[in-house]
Amino acid sequence: MNKLFFCIMTLCIGLAVIVSSSFAEENKEKKALSDEAEVSYVKTDGNTQVTSLAAKNLLKYQFNEKVLGSWKIGALSAKTAGVKTAENYFTDLKLDYLFTPRVYSFVLGGWQQNRFAGIDEHLYGGVGAGYKFLDGPKNFLVGELGVQYVSDKYTDNTKKDYPGGRAFAKYTYAFTEKNKFSQSLEYLNDFNDSQNYKVNSETALISALNDILSLKAAYLVNYTNAPVPATLKKKDTTTTMALVLNY
């Protein structure tokens, strides 16, 4: 097993434990710190031998009524018949500033490594603005537009730096407070090369088991119109079933 994956997985679980032990004061109306840890493991033997491990952690901190910070980390590792078929690591940071209950601006930055998709190192940073078109109680819809600067290093030893744009939208329907359906869509482009764009999508259903544990089923699509090297497939899909811890 990849040591980096287990380090990230341990950090995900550790963050959840720290948050639960330090911020479990039920008498507070609103917590400044919240955490969502997501862990999944799949292993099959017999005619098909597949092992898959995935971990994500989303940590949010409400600095005040206008400023919200979030930090997401994640890892994915998969083997088929003893041969590694997927390996993806990432971390993202985002800071939102709320002008009104519906309008906000943000700064963001992140890093990713996904060698099976040709990415040895992906670095980005940017700014933008968002608007909450729907804000409950059952229907939620948020949209974001922004610009960013990207630095990519590929597995074929080439590199590309470019300014780009980002468009993001997410719809959530809350059956209850803890049982939800969500659909997100993200579009990333290159201002210098119209053929260099990406589309990311996630369809998810969350079902609560109790106050802190939930099951999450998700289907992710990652489309790269101009992968490097060009021999790679343009579309990657992932189906997951994960245990989610919320604090």
- Residue 49: what pLDDT? 67
Closest CA to 109 of 128, 125, 129, 123: 125
How far apart CA 115 and CA 40 sit, in angstroms, is 21
Residue 218: name the closest of 226, 207, 232 by CA. Answer: 207
Total domains in the chain come to 1
Residue keyed to tokens 């099976």: 116
Are 119 and 147 contacting, i.e. CB atoms less than 8 angstroms apart?
Answer: no
Q: What is the mean pLDDT of residues 98-120?
A: 96
Let me know if 15 is exposed, middle or buried by CB neighbors in 10 A (0-12, 13-18, 19+).
buried
Across 155-171, average pLDDT: 97
Model pLDDT, residue 83: 87
The first and second tokens of residue 113, run together, are 């490594």
> Residue 118 is which amino acid?
G
Which pLDDT band holds residue 90 (cuts at 50, 70, 90)? Answer: very high
Task: Give me the CATH number covering residue 154.
Answer: 2.40.160.40
Any residues with CB less than 8 A from the CB of 167 and at least 6 apart, and which? 143, 144, 145, 186, 187
pLDDT at 23: 46
pLDDT by residue (tens digit) across 43-79? 766 665 678 889 999 999 999 999 999 999 999 988 8
For residue 26, name the pLDDT band (cuts at 50, 70, 90): very low
The pLDDT value recorded for residue 20 is: 47
Q: What pLDDT sits at residue 174?
A: 97
pLDDT class of 27 with cuts at 50, 70, 90: very low
Residue 5 has pLDDT above 60, yes or no: no
| Structural domain boundaries enclosing 188 | 3-246
Average predicted confidence (pLDDT) for the chain = 88
Residue 17 has pLDDT above 90, yes or no: no
- pLDDT tens column, 130-158: 999 999 999 999 999 999 999 999 999 99
pLDDT confidence band for 15 (50 / 70 / 90): low
d(CA 63, CA 204): 28
Chain segment 177-210, per-residue pLDDT in tens? 889 999 999 999 999 999 999 999 999 999 999 9
Instruction: Quickly list DSSP for 210-245.
Output: SSSEEEEEEEEEEEESS-SSTTS-SEEEEEEEEEEE
pLDDT above 90: residue 12: no
